[in-house]
Amino acid sequence: MSKEYDLVILGGGTGGYVAAIRAAQLGLTTAIVEKSKLGGTCLHNGCIPSKALLKSAEVFRVTQQQADEFGVKTGDVSLDFSQVQKRKHQIVDQLHAGIKGLMKKGKIDVYHGTGRILGASIFSPMPGTISVEMDNGEENEILILKNLLIATGSKPRTLPGLELDETHVLSSDGALVMNALPSSMTIIGAGVIGIEWASMLTDFGVNVTVLDRLDHILPTEDREVSVAMKKALEKRGVTFILGAAIDTESLEKAETVTISYTVDGATHSISSDKILVSVGRSAVVDDIGLANTEIQVENGFIQTNKTYQTKDDHIYAIGDVIGGLQLAHVAEHEGLHAVEHMAGRKVEPIDYEMVPRCVYSYPETAAVGLTEQQARDQGYEVKIGKFPFQANGKALVNGHADGFVKLVTDQQTNDILGVHMMGAHVTDLISEAGLAMVMNAIPWEVSSMIHPHPTLSEAFGEAALAVEGLAIHM
């Protein structure tokens, strides 16, 4: 069977389904092809389930370790990991049902199966028609389209020679569905995902060691944040082995998993119940029919212009599959921009320096804009404003006073170049900093805004005052 659409979206993850909703709002007949579940990685294997587990880990840590500080006597505290997983599934299922409802509301057709791009054929003189191999075994559906949006996302990457079996050697996907917690875990990779898992597992009582080839953690973040986060996690029991060259061929699986690594010329080995490989994600570009198009792939990612068009200008691509900032909120906005463009509307290119990025560990980190080093490397004469949460009343009341807010500014123009935060709830606070940068606010304007007391947001106002050495409570 064949059916015609204004837009077909290959992939129903965050970027794909948001783009579909916007297309329907603009009056475009729209279909999504999804081989798994609507919501994609973010909802089912990433953002939401991992944050649900992190919240359970936080409650366990606070109840077990901090309740006495608040005058709450809890007695013996234990963890029911099956209930932790059950709660995670309930949250995911509720959100999944909501997305399916939005598809019905927008009259968006959803095809459950594997979609592949066809070349020029009897269906269309241009490449892009989609053949859907249906999950239910029915005859392939042929979707004839005016525009195609590729939003196939990404999958966990591993190291050459280090096979993911999801039993002994896990990806983040495998770790999310563990039936029981291991007593020890070696995490390979100290980026965002590795640090979130290190924080979570140590709160659950797992003995955690993190290996990374670099000499510092969270390499995309400001160095002060990286250093402070490492100290905070070490204080809670996480062991870091940095500057480590990992010998993937040395992997041994028995009752425990053992792997060797070299630091400063000396070879060592480490054994643990499981290994979690957290070394980034690769785009899903295989077996989707790209060879039938003019689309260019470089370093594993689809190449697009600023309006997300590929070499075949009626075929667009967004999200993890094009590289860049592999974040759900980035994919959403790329999808919105692509749909607006194909609908003939004028759109301004996304300024990726204005995109907030977050790490949901304990403590959390959040940032927008340039790091201090990036600003200096770009030739700015930098001026810093910094304020610690230890001087913030609400942080002390909450019992989470680690961390700080840091503003990186241009001394010549007084523009805010970047904002970096570490502490509890900073992933919620960072949006004010993002708005300030989008509106070209200067520190004086930020500090002029009356922040309610007592709130964590006061720390942002104080950091803005600190740029000129005028912080009140420091």
Looking at the fold, whether 274 and 289 belong to one and the same domain comes out as: no
CB 263 within 8 A of CB 257: no
User: Per the residue annotation, which of 168, 400, 425, 453 is the catalytic one?
Assistant: 453
CB 183 within 8 A of CB 207: yes
Residue 160 lies in a domain: no
Torsion of CA 180, 153, 96, 133, to 10 degrees: -100
Looking at the fold, whether 97 and 112 belong to one and the same domain comes out as: yes
Residue 275 lies in a domain: yes
Looking at the fold, whether 147 and 178 belong to one and the same domain comes out as: no
DSSP string, 312-350: STTEEE-GGGG-SS--HHHHHHHHHHHHHHHTT---PPP
User: Which token pair is 349?
Assistant: 């290119």
Residue 65 lies in a domain: no
Which residues constitute the domain of residue 186?
169-279
Residue 453 a catalytic site member: yes
Looking at the fold, whether 370 and 329 belong to one and the same domain comes out as: no
Give the per-residue pLDDT at 124.
Answer: 82
Element (H, E) at 419: strand 416-423
Residue 358 lies in a domain: no
Looking at the fold, whether 106 and 193 belong to one and the same domain comes out as: no
Picking from 317, 352, 387, the residue at the C-terminal end of a domain is: 352
Question: Each residue of 185-208: pLDDT tens digit?
Answer: 999 999 999 999 999 999 999 999
Give this prediction's pTM. Answer: 0.95
Looking at the fold, whether 187 and 247 belong to one and the same domain comes out as: yes
Half-sphere exposure of 198 (CA within 13 A, CB side): 34
Residue 76 lies in a domain: no
Domain count, the chain: 3
Residue 74 lies in a domain: no
Element (H, E) at 430: helix 426-438
Residue 63 lies in a domain: no
Question: Each residue of 4-38: pLDDT tens digit?
Answer: 999 999 999 999 999 999 999 999 999 999 999 99
Per-residue pLDDT at 161 exceeds 90:
no
Residue 56 lies in a domain: no
Question: Each residue of 129-157: pLDDT tens digit?
Answer: 999 999 888 899 999 999 999 999 999 99
Domain CATH code at residue 455: 3.30.390.30
Looking at the fold, whether 147 and 289 belong to one and the same domain comes out as: yes
Looking at the fold, whether 230 and 272 belong to one and the same domain comes out as: yes
Tokens 């790091």 appear where? 371
Looking at the fold, whether 16 and 115 belong to one and the same domain comes out as: yes
Per-residue pLDDT at 114 exceeds 90:
yes
SS3 call for 380: coil
